[in-house]
Structure 1
Amino acid sequence: ALFPHRTVFQNVEFSLKMKGLPKDERARQVWEMLDLVSLSELARRRPSDLSGGQQQRVALARALIARPTLLLLDEPLGALDFNLRQSMIVELKKIQRELGITFIMVTHSQLEALSMADKVIVMSDAVIQQIGSSREIAENPHTKFVAEFIGNNNIFSGVVKSRSGSMVFVEAGDQIFYVRIPEYVRQVRVGHEAHFSVRADLMHSGKQDGMANSVDGKFVTTEFMGSLETDVFEVGDGLLVQVEQHRKVSDRLYKMGESETISWAAQSGVLLKQT
């Protein structure tokens, strides 16, 4: 927490003062750091006069001025609204690259993790589920937990019926699905339960030629997200399947309960590791 009775300048200066640095040297370093976080014009203000995003930048500057080789950020953006959070994500990435300091950020936000990190570690109950780049985590979740946590994935459960090279046939409900076995799945046991995921943006609504997998569902709702829309269908026993696409591609408006076929390519489904 910031010292409420001190100015922005004094808050950032504090650790240098404790080290006994000369006044001129302290001032030089503080102004340099305030320039880095774009707060020079607010140097004489107190924390109560600042916005939430500005207070976060003061706290960051105060930590960075000590020149750590590694900085732990614990939910640094949690108290900010959406727009402030988005701008701070950009600011943090910019500052990290300019200083070359390793940031370890603890967050429950998938957006923050995937947007900011060079390397993501997904944990559950103190156990590491997966380590990888943002793209690897998003495109190839290793476990059911990771697929659910990252979101934007449709997860199917069934029984392995047979295997053919790097592909496997999974029976879910009364249908057979053709699913890719990624290289990190070491063991595939015929007759045992299995889970596989398909990203929402790799699903297609309507009958599609050349698609190995399809399932029939009934329309539930549409979620609009800027240029994207996600149509949600109920298939099987209450399973909700999301189909994400650009709005200019999706020109069909569904009615509640309307039937539709959802399809996807064999390579789009990923078999998940058993845990």
Structure 2
Amino acid sequence: MTLTTLERLRAKREGLSTYMTGAVVLACSGAAGLLVMFIPVLIRLAGGISAFLDRVISYRNLRFARLAFQQNMSGNTAYVREIWPFILLAGALGILLGYLRRRWGLYYREIPWRPYRSGFRLPAYPHRWLTYFAGPLIFLAIAYYSDPRVYVRILTANFAVWLTSGVAALVLWELITDGLLAAGARMHLFRPPYRRLDAELDWKRWLDRDPKLSGFRAFEVAVFSDGRAFLHADLNEAQVNRVRELTAQMEDVTSLEIKTTEEQEAGD
């Protein structure tokens, strides 16, 4: 095992967006974008329920408790009515972020530069950079759209919070997206990932760090959910045997298929 516990957890989370059905990933990403904007509504709802229960327990007065709940919830309708264009924008942005995460996420970032040629080798996740900048810009747009004389002044007074709003939005969006995908797969609403991203990254690092495999070139590395593994690479016979020895030590792999460049050229 070459991945740390945190790296393996991250790979499993990214594997949901990478290897689940594309339409499902985009739908859950868009829903997560909407839910991020509805977090203030959920906070008010939790506060309203808390106030309702407090009045019922303390005063045993249902009418008083209902008024306390309505008071806490009074701003929700106004909030949604005021910024509904930005709520829809957040949903559309969530779909775009889901596409970027699926297309240029952890899988392509973690492929070592030297031996693998498939995919893009990016120094950072594009969906993360986009969220870092989009968060403050959307907050600023909402402030100008609602009341620039009031809300822009509030943002200025809380500059650090405004500037890091993109980071908070990213964390919430990723957690909600991963939660929706994982829950849907566990409840058999969606098809689960057909490949194991954590096992693939583990295998790639293992192959890269073995001195007997120095100089080889791999074109495709895949570990499927049922335990099958596939490797397409430039290997001689000794290297093929070494790959089989290493793969036999992996708990995630039950069978291995290796296709060398010579075999592919002979087949063509």
Determine if the TM-score, normalized by the shorter chain, exceeds 0.5.
no
Greater share of residues in helix: 2
TM-score, scaled to structure 1: 0.26
TM-score, scaled to structure 2: 0.26
